Amino acid sequence: MADKPPLIFVVDDEPRIRTAVQRLLRTVGMEAQTFASSQEFLRMAPLDAPSCLVLDVRLRDANGLDLQRRLSESGVDIPIIFITGHGDIPMSVRAMKAGAVEFLTKPFSDQELLDAIQCAIERDRVGRQRRSELSVLRQQYSALTPREREVFPLVVSGLLNKQIAANLGTSEKTIKIHRSQVMQKMKADSFADLVRKAEKLQVSSSPSPKS
């Protein structure tokens, strides 16, 4: 994966805070892009880059929690750190339940913010890795023939070639060929690796295989 430096988005309607947070992040070598409203953020932020979002709960044009909901509804999986001048417990619970990384009460210390950002970036990295791995796996899976897709779940369920052959009403030799095709197309270097990939793809043996 390309190791692009992560971009931190800061959405707060208070210009003093945008400038100060941006300046603070620059001292630790992080680049921050700031926005005065949720509209501005939705319009201009390059959401495909590795990033995390530092978001004020109370914005002039919208509630930060609403922006969180809109992002997740449109499938944007960006880790969010909430900052608030008057955080109450129900609000922070709602934010955390909806997947926020952290809920910081203003004024927060630099360490609190940097720790939260570190954690958010890590979460973003893991998320991105998982998503790109999955898309590679899906590509590999789509190259399987219909017969190989039948054999795949039976193989990872731990059945022997002989049993699979009996199941599908064919010869053990044919199954052996299918198995090696699946291993090769899925780029699995061991049986255990194939099982892991099957789990990620949620491939499981059909409920009632032919007897």
Partner 1 sequence: MNFGIWTEVEERKPVEEQLRESEQRTRAFWDNSPNLIFLKDTKLRYLYVNRQFERALRIDREQIRGKSDLDLFAPEQASTFQANDLKVLEAGVPIEFEEVAQHEDGPHTSIVHKFPLLDAAGKIYAIGGIVTDITERIRSREALERAQEELERIARITMMGELTASIAHEISQPLTSIVSNANACSRMLSAKSPDMKEITAAVADIAEAATHASEVISGIRMLLKKGVLERAPVYLNEIIREVLTLTQGEILKNQIAMQTDLCAELLPIPGDRVELQQVVLNLIMNGIEAMTSIRNASRKLLIRSGTLEPDAVLVSVQDTGVGIDPRNMHRIFEPFFTSKLGGMGMGLSISRSIIEAHGGRLWAESQPNRGAVFQFALPILDGGAPWQISPR
- What is the distance between the alpha carbons of residues 161 and 151, in angstroms, rounded to a whole number? 10
**Residue 9: which H helix or E strand, with range?**
strand 7-11
Interface positions, 91-130, toward partner 1 (CB under 8 A): 105-110, 113
Q: How many residues bind partner 1 (CB under 8 A)?
A: 22
CA distances (Å), origin 157, targets 160, 191, 195, 207: 9, 11, 8, 12
| Nearest to 168, CA basis, from 196, 192, 149 | 149
Residue 28, interface with partner 1 (CB under 8 A)?
yes
Residue 31, interface with partner 1 (CB under 8 A)?
no
The DSSP line for 26-45 is: HHTT-EEEEESSHHHHHHH-
Q: Which of 20, 32, 47, 168 binds partner 1 (CB under 8 A)?
A: 20
Query: What's the closest the beta carbon of residue 58 comes to partner 1, in angstroms?
Result: 8
Residue 90, interface with partner 1 (CB under 8 A)?
no
Query: What's the closest the beta carbon of residue 7 comes to partner 1, in angstroms?
Result: 19
Task: Catalog residues that contact partner 1 under the rule CB under 8 A.
Answer: 14, 16-17, 19-21, 23-24, 26-28, 58, 83, 85-86, 105-110, 113
